[in-house]
Amino acid sequence: MSGLKPGEVNLGTSIMAVQFADGVIIGADSRTTTGSYIANRVTDKLTEVHDTIYCCRSGSAADTQAVADIVHYYLQMYSVQNGKPTVPLAATLFQEMCYQNKDNLSAGIIVGGWDKENGGSVWNIPLGGSLHRQPFAIGGSGSTYIYGYCDATYRDGMSKDECIEFVKNSLALAMSRDGSSGGVIRLAVITEQGVQRIFVPGDQVPVHWEG
């Protein structure tokens, strides 16, 4: 568990975002840890930076909150001066912060949102500050356990409900194997109409083989 200072709060995490026809679906677990203690078991890791642009945060809780707040501010100013921002713009702002401060940050961020020019788009910004547009992206410590599952399950052109099931099942698998992920699943469906939040409590999280 690198990059974190002693006592710092960790967004261990499993996060995910999937692009579909009308927009994107983003999802995250809800566990925040300090060492092995679960400091918050109902965290909201899906953070709004604009009306239809959200980010999923993983890594240091402090670092990702600070970066998201700054990007939120920049997008507020941009929208007042220039009109609605696009998702690639927001993603580039995140990239700028993460890359230029790479030595001091521990932040893995996935940006997902809808805008008029691009429709839905997903942008993955891993630790070093690189920017990757992907049809779907996974991140956080729990993501390592579901690369195979996601590659095997993802198909182009899935419907909204199929994407929701895909995200729910992937996150459930990651939460089961990764000690730093768990709690409840939070989802957000982002389309031209706005943001619809979905909450999956612990007892409704999909159950797979448990030995």
Partner 1 sequence: MSIMEYNGGAVVAMVGKNCVAIACDKRLGVQAMTISTEFKKTFQATPKTYIGLPGLATDVQTLAEKFRFKVNMYRLKEEREIEPRALAHLVSSTLYERRFGPWFVEPVIAGLDKENRPFICSTDLIGCINFAKDFVVSGTTSNQLYGMCESLWEPDLEPEDLFETISQSLMNAVDRDCLSGWGAEVTVITPEKIITRTLRSRQD
Contacts with partner 1 by CB under 8 A lie at 1, 12, 29, 31, 33, 35-38, 41, 141, 145, 175-183, 202, 205, 207, 210-211
29 is written with which tokens? 């677990």
For residues 113 and 183, which CB has a smaller minimum distance to partner 1 in the complex?
A: 183
Is there a contact between 55 and 139 (Cβ–Cβ < 8 Å)?
no
Is there a contact between 176 and 208 (Cβ–Cβ < 8 Å)?
yes
> Which residue, among 179, 197, 186, 188, has the nearest Cα to 32 in the 3D structure?
179
Q: Which of 13, 33, 64, 86 is catalytic?
A: 13
For residues 87 and 184, which CB has a smaller minimum distance to partner 1 in the complex?
A: 184
| Nearest-approach distance from CB 130 to partner 1, in angstroms | 24
In degrees and rounded to multiples of 5, residue 84 shows phi and psi of -60, 130
For residues 60 and 176, which CB has a smaller minimum distance to partner 1 in the complex?
A: 176
In degrees and rounded to multiples of 5, residue 9 shows phi and psi of -85, 135
160 burial class (0-12, 13-18, 19+ CB within 10 angstroms)? middle
Angle formed at CA 74 by CA 10 and CA 192, multiple of 5 degrees: 90
| Nearest-approach distance from CB 152 to partner 1, in angstroms | 20
Let me know if 64 is a catalytic residue: no
| Nearest-approach distance from CB 51 to partner 1, in angstroms | 32
For residues 106 and 181, which CB has a smaller minimum distance to partner 1 in the complex?
A: 181
Look up residue 89 and give its amino acid.
L
> Which residue, among 57, 199, 81, has the nearest Cα to 141 in the 3D structure?
57
| Nearest-approach distance from CB 39 to partner 1, in angstroms | 9
Catalogue the active-site residues.
13
